[in-house]
Amino acid sequence: MIEVRDVSKSFVSDERVLKHISTEFHSGKINQIIGQSGSGKTVLLKCIVGLHIPDSGDILYDGRSFTAMTKKEKMQLCSEIGMLFQGSALFDSLTILENVMFPMKMFSDKNDKEQQSRARFCLERVGLNDVFDMYPSELSGGMQKRAAIARAISLNPKYLFCDEPNSGLDPLSAIKIDELIVELTKEFQMTTIINTHDLNSVLSVGEQIVFIHKGEKAWEGPKEKLFVSNCSELNDFIFASEMFQKFRTNLVSEQAGHS
């Protein structure tokens, strides 16, 4: 479990980008952070991973306080984290196999042979059997995402962070990437956090949702409650399109009929 406790963050001379965010993310669950572009999702995820240092507040990894950690403990934590960056962020000049081996070179004491064997296993696990010696530019967008997922799970992480994992993909590839993340989360009981502004993704794989609006947590709850909340900012976000407005009208009248 990851606990975010009263985290605030600003950048030089700017107003605060994150304002007193507190929430919890549970293991074995697809936790999603949703919100409009610019609402603070990436900054929050980077604060959680330690790529941004919050101005105040703390992050607890299964009870371990990030701010209280020594350098050595932070290195240990890094080896427990898998990160899928926005875009695939593969290294162009490394082969796919070398890309997947990279975190192990940085954060594990596996030798070269062990790293190769683990990298092969991870690539096979995400359905990439024949691309070990290819370079990222030779793969389709969906395959690059799979390779990036293989790299993210190479250290067998407890915590998996994905920033807009299916952006830029066609709808079918997007769903497949989401489903792969779900499978891996359940299989390895990871605490998975996905940033997304894609409602399809929320509807198909989301379980526990945190909605960020202008740097504040405006709503949180299970996906099932998303469509019947009283949070006006959330409703504006979800029901921005006409199609979803009709969906909501039907849902509300159906519920009125049942009560």
Ligand X SMILES: Nc1ncnc2c1ncn2[C@@H]1O[C@H](COP(=O)(O)OP(=O)(O)O)[C@@H](O)[C@H]1O
Site residues for ligand X per CB under 6 A: 11, 14, 17, 35, 37-43
Closer to Mg ion at the Cβ: 41 or 213? 41
CB of 84 to Mg ion, least distance (A): 13
Contact status, residue 116 vs residue 101, Cβ threshold 8 Å: yes
Tell me how far, at minimum, the Cβ of 183 lies from ligand X, in Å: 25
**Residue 230's binding partner out of Mg ion, ligand X, none, with CB under 5 to 8 Å set by partner kind:** none
Q: State yes or no: residue 201 binds Mg ion (CB under 5 A).
A: no
Number of amino acids touching Mg ion (CB under 5 A): 2
Q: Give how far the C-alpha of residue 189 lies from the chain's centroid of Cα atoms, to the nearest Å.
A: 15
Residue 86 CB, nearest approach to Mg ion (Å): 6
Q: Which is nearer to ligand X, 2 or 101 (CB)?
A: 2
**x/- contact string, 32-51, with Mg ion (CB under 5 A)?**
---------xx---------
- Is residue 207 within 8 Å of residue 199, measured between CB atoms? no
Distance CA 201, CA 76 (A): 32
| 3-state SS, residue 199 | helix
Report the residue number, 122 or 193, with the smaller CB distance to Mg ion. Answer: 193
Residue with smaller CB distance to ligand X, 45 or 119: 45
Tell me how far, at minimum, the Cβ of 16 lies from Mg ion, in Å: 17
**Assigned token pair, 152:** 């993210």
Select the residue whose beta carbon is closest to Mg ion and give its number.
42
Beta strands in 177-237 (DSSP E): 191-196, 208-213, 216-222
Q: Which does 39 bind (CB under 5 to 8 A by kind): ligand X, Mg ion, none?
A: ligand X
Least distance in angstroms from the C-beta of 196 to Mg ion: 9
Q: Which does 142 bind (CB under 5 to 8 A by kind): ligand X, Mg ion, none?
A: none
| C-alpha distances out from residue 105 to 69, 72, 99, Å | 23, 17, 10
C-alpha dist (Å) from residue 159 to 56, 74, 162: 22, 14, 10
Pick one of Mg ion, ligand X, none as the site partner of residue 15 (Cβ within 5 to 8 A by kind).
Answer: none
> In the complex with ligand X, which residue's Cβ is closer, 83 or 96?
83
Rounded to the nearest whole angstrom, what is the least distance from the CB of residue 93 to Mg ion in the complex?
26
Pick from 140, 164, 131, 162: nearest CA to 149: 162
Alpha-carbon span 255 to 215, nearest angstrom: 32
Q: Minimum distance between the CB of residue 33 and ligand X, rounded to whole angstroms?
A: 8
- For residue 209, is it left (φ>0), alpha (ψ between -120 and 50) or beta? beta
- Going by DSSP bridges, is the β-strand pair 208-213/30-34 parallel, antiparallel, or unpaired? parallel
Closer residue to ligand X, CB minimum distance, 131 or 202: 202
Which residue's CB is nearer to Mg ion, number 33 or number 184? Answer: 33
Closest by CA position to 106, among listed 91, 87, 121? 91
User: For binding to Mg ion (CB under 5 A), which residues are involved?
Assistant: 41-42
